[in-house]
Structure 1
């Protein structure tokens, strides 16, 4: 390893930047190169990464914490090993190393995110809520637009958060905005979708949301909120290094009934890649790391799987707006400010059947006794009925029931089982429901609330998210690292 590269690695250690880049595992260890930021393979079968696992090694009283991740695609040859290897040296004790950690979040300031700054050269007509814009003479501060776009004022049949303003996207209507990215965060978009009339409060109102690597169509759905608008979240994940500028784009989806969508209150939350496991086994066990809630809204945020997302694929959690958890069907992300949440600031409500749930994919290093605890209850949103929640670990299934009267009650449940899985097998752990329940006025779909699942392991047993074979490579590189420090 060159002096220059070694200095760079030491700088990363000192700054606690645990996202390094190992461009390729070389034949000669002297060729190791470290670089801050996301890591991707370059060339044949390029690979995207997320930081998933750590191991510790004590050498001469110093604890070396290894962050590493190797995600070869399905058909990659073993000798084409590309990956991410981050070494973090610390003088703190190993006991401190396993304390709880949740990724930090950083709101990304978008310009004019709620469209309250009106377009240029526009005079609001009190007799009309819709003002047609012309991109040759009108500018929406902070936003570029094309196609047919109207500036909309709430009122009458048009309901928006805070009764403010939004934009309606007509034929080929599209808005976009860029923001700076330093490669340190993944990004989750929150936005509001509203129909232009009661008759359009159905699947005809739709938008296509695009990020750097993918896109997804969101449809307004009946009976999911009291208001005539709904809030959704979308993971703006990227399979490539994104230093500099990232963009988001929202475009209308053609509708034969001319139910053109209205969008409002667009927010972006930067989520730092997780650095270590929580002490109780699940990453993001309290669901604290997710999309940003809208300040002037008492509604939750609707979460759906990505367009091509397989909830049981362990490598697709980066595409989920809820860090490390993938989505089955549709769920609602709720906050403690407006709902009953047993612990912390957020929880998950399973709002519609067929099924509605969340999935966590993990691996078990050894066999032995495992205990999973979680809270089940109602979110204090007048959800009345008989709840049934299933907890499934691979092919083992337990079910839990409770009678809800919608006043915010909750119960703690626990299951115990013996983990008899091979240590390179991905095991899905899922919480889901098939029941359909509604609020006491029978208008809004609702369901059981899930919060704070934890895993407790017997001595010597712990979960992992990485095949153990890669630990061999990490130990080799730790040895090299130690030689130079």
Structure 2
């Protein structure tokens, strides 16, 4: 079923929720509609919970204009001319009409200002997550993050909260470009035991966000911004698109930017003793990541290291891993063997795309499963 048909179905399920959210920026998601001057003090501090149109604020919130100075630092805004800064214990909230039971991914851009250990709590009641911001992945200082949830009600409240308490109450992250995308749980395609093997289903890409979207670690693939895939360990992977990066196949892929500290994982049903073949593409995203890369793939007791000499201008090669299943469930794992860094000091790594898993061989006398 196509995305348009599924969207029509979601709208029908929403019944009375006429304003059900659709893919793209949330209402005033780029904060270009600002508070009245009478609702700000000291030039930028927001006064009043409903001063910013379509948003409810609490705590120390500032309305930032691109080019505004903070000491010797110039604050740059990636989407339009305005953003918000969440100071001590500050939050922004927006109520969303959604389709109950459906899955969504929220995407937003964030930049650290003066605190070194900033983090954000993102929640859609009753679910919540913590996004650490200690690692900066883009040279601009802005990163885009994705976080997924399943709607438990027809109307939910999205909250982005800075739980930090700094000596300077204005020390907190900048937020801009808050968007949403409905996720459609992928099914098994013909000739591939992996779901979403081409990574075509995933979070929304913000316009002009040439740094991709970070997908943080999670422990449940049902709520992953990359449906059917889990991000294991402690660091994020980067979701890239063909509009801003080189992608081996289709429109989207995953860049492994965190070395062995992050792994891309999918669990599949297998038959012990049967042999399977995993094939995939390894390349670079044409983002200036130059050098000798090594992507690793694991399944059951087998593994393969795939060297790729990157010139940072795009390209890829195919790789294969044959393995014998040892249980009824097998985890397919991708990760980068080492950290890589661009000339500007930002992290990068090999791209994984077009992953496919097929039955390669079964023991003699065993009937092929349908």
Scaled by the length of structure 1, the TM-score of the pair is 0.65
Which whole-Å CA distance do the structure 2 matches of 1:462 and 1:249 have between them? 47
Does the Cα contact within 8 Å between 2:292 and 2:307 map onto a contact in 1?
A: yes
**Deviation, structure 1 residue 146:** 1.3
Any idea what SS the aligned residue of 1:277 has?
A: coil
Deviation at 1:184, TM superposition (A): 5.2
- Is contact 1:368-1:461 (8 Å) kept? no
Change (3 A) 1:115 1:455: same
- CA distance in 1 between counterparts of 2:46 and 2:298 reads 52
Look up the match of 1:297. Answer: 209
Deviation at 1:333, TM superposition (A): 0.5
CA-CA distance at 1:286 after TM superposition: 0.8
The answer (yes or no) to whether the contact 2:122–2:128 under 8 Å persists in 1 is: yes
Q: Take 1:162 and 1:175, find their aligned partners in 2: how far apart are those partners?
A: 17
Task: Give the stretch that moved more between structures: 177-186 or 227-236.
Answer: 177-186
**CA separation in 2, counterparts of 1:407 and 1:16?**
37
**1:285-316 deviation line (CA, Å, top 9, x unaligned):** 1111111001122111111113xx2xxxxxx2
1:350 is aligned, of 256, 269, 274, to 256
> Any unmatched runs of 5+ in structure 2?
15-20, 362-366
Q: Which runs of 5+ in 1 are unaligned?
A: 1-14, 20-35, 38-104, 310-315, 464-485
Deviation, structure 1 residue 365:
4.8
Judged with a 3 Å threshold, the aligned counterparts in structure 2 of structure 1 residues 194 and 442 are, in CA distance, closer, same or farther, namely: closer
3-state secondary structure, aligned to 2:221: helix
Distance change >3 Å, CA 117–CA 347, structure 1 → 2: same
Aligned match of 2:29: 113
SS at match of 1:224: coil
Within the alignment, does 1:428 sit opposite 2:345 as a pair? no
The equivalent position to 1:219 in structure 2, one of 129, 132, 139, is 132
**1:139 aligns to 2:51 (yes or no):** yes
Please, what TM-score do these two structures have when normalized by structure 2?
0.84
Matched residue count: 341
The 1:213–1:426 alpha-carbon spacing in structure 2 relative to 1, beyond 3 Å, is: farther
Structure 1 SS opposite 2:121: strand
Name the CA distance, whole Å, in 2 between partners of 1:382 and 1:404: 9
RMSD, aligned α-carbons:
2.7
Task: Specify which structure has the higher proportion of helix.
Answer: 1
Larger Rg: 1
Q: Does the 8 A contact of 1:383 with 1:406 survive in 2?
A: yes
Q: Secondary structure at the match of 1:174?
A: strand
Q: Summarize deviations over 1:124-180 as a string: whole Å, max 9, x none.
A: 99xx8x5111116x5211111111211111115212213521111122211111111
